[in-house]
Chains A and B, each alone.
Chain A
């Protein structure tokens, strides 16, 4: 079975008045069925309010489905007996770096997760070292998190999840509050986890440049999966993406513009190198 499987997952936000009567029901996720395989790098795209964050919160049982089922590593998230096992399998990193760090020093913060799982002290320190090295923050282990940049804090947050040895890390817009350098550092760390440590990565973002390395992209709109495919397949559909308020990487946009003006350029150009090659053929 795949690492994560959802079957017709739906979720309603229910707003109640002071007496507890239902005022409004908003369906945030609507019948989403998908499979994510162990070791994949998955990106989930969607505009604000498309349901991508609500969906991702089902992957480690922060939210339970209103209808449908989610299985993480074969375990049903709706069954409360599975809660801890699921949270050990799938770790989450959120948008705001300042809301996720609790330790006084970096290495203590990273050790908090495994300590909470009851891991032996000696092994905790091993895991702290491995995790900090994996995200390139080992040299900062004795620093106070307060003095780190946003990108560094996010990498510490990722290390904190990694130290719990999850099979899967869900990153919910981890770069939204960072500057270009910080974004680059975090995405590089996420890719390293996937390629070197073989951790399944699920990256939720609306920076199109960050998803071109993904094995598979899901595009969400109005709670549905509107498109799925490889980055090249997805970014070949420029007009459709625009219609649901998304963008494509600037190089893809330029290729699309040139094609519209009559140049013979293939769809779904993702990198500068690909565009240069395509133009060389025309020359």
Chain B
């Protein structure tokens, strides 16, 4: 795949590395006992520890450690049995302690790798440099008052995993696929809910450009991009901006930028007055984080099936295509839905219905598969009705429509509306005979236009309200009309 961007001076290659901040799924915060739930009244989910009050001390949440290890295992990464919590020192209103507890030189997870799946069916490995644990900051609201910002510390101290990729991506699409895959893996692991709207997953994107084969260019970091779509737009804009600058003869200044979704542009952050010097040092309130190999092995045993393995199983067990399997597993909920529907049904048909009918309907009514009005078991039942020739495919679409609106089971819909397929040869034959009798002109024209046979099928279906077994209709029509020609 050619990812190069065309400039005035030739082709350019984009080099992308991503730091994802993923909020860990846990009841309480990384170093305190206050709640992490989203949307609570401001400054209520705040303990004295989270507010950085004098004399307060951090105590680490064991589940957050396990979640980080779990995620590390899901990224095929090295788990470090000895890691250190450091303080990252800087002043900011939403950082109550005046430092963030993070991990600097010795993170809990080291090198790893994930495989991303691209739209053309290709896949590519993206290296993971590290994963470390850290505290989230609070939130400043700027629109409450003309001269003050309002600080809410509910998020202060919530556990984050910062996952740093290698600079292995070369296009906006790869970057998007990477974040999607990462999010999907964490959703499978239930270590992060991946909700970008609520800020549970944010991406800082490092972008630089170079002529193919050259050394790495100067990079700019685009902070806190919070949707997959924006990731694509931000990289696209930023790469072109850099190319323009270089081609004009300017130098790229290493800086932190923000993406403005309304303008579709990145802009330099109002530069912080200090040169960054975070003065990292081991947090003296905490000890090194240590655990045994056995502890990691125990966690390994609890890992669920991850998307890559699941995809392979879909191909092997359900005989699905690689392309279809990929679509199904790319959202855990879709794959779960599919498997629930296919459990007592024809997997290939289920797959077609999920990817076709279901996706387009959900798209139309703007719902996700999680709040799909049709239960997976019911969809499986509907497909069984088609498969065992209880209803026709055409009727199935009507049943599906009713299911969507009423939530009733397909069997009761079919019964109540008398929608069963007509398989009786005599009954179909007599309908056909009547139609032939009434339409001598069409019968005669058949020898000239054999395609007219379709018109006869339509007439039969109309007469039987779509319930006639289409195979039988075709057979009888063929026998009665085509042999005359």
Query: Real complex partners, A and B?
Result: no
**Chain A interface residues (CB < 8 Å from chain B):** none
**Chain B interface residues (CB < 8 Å from chain A):** none
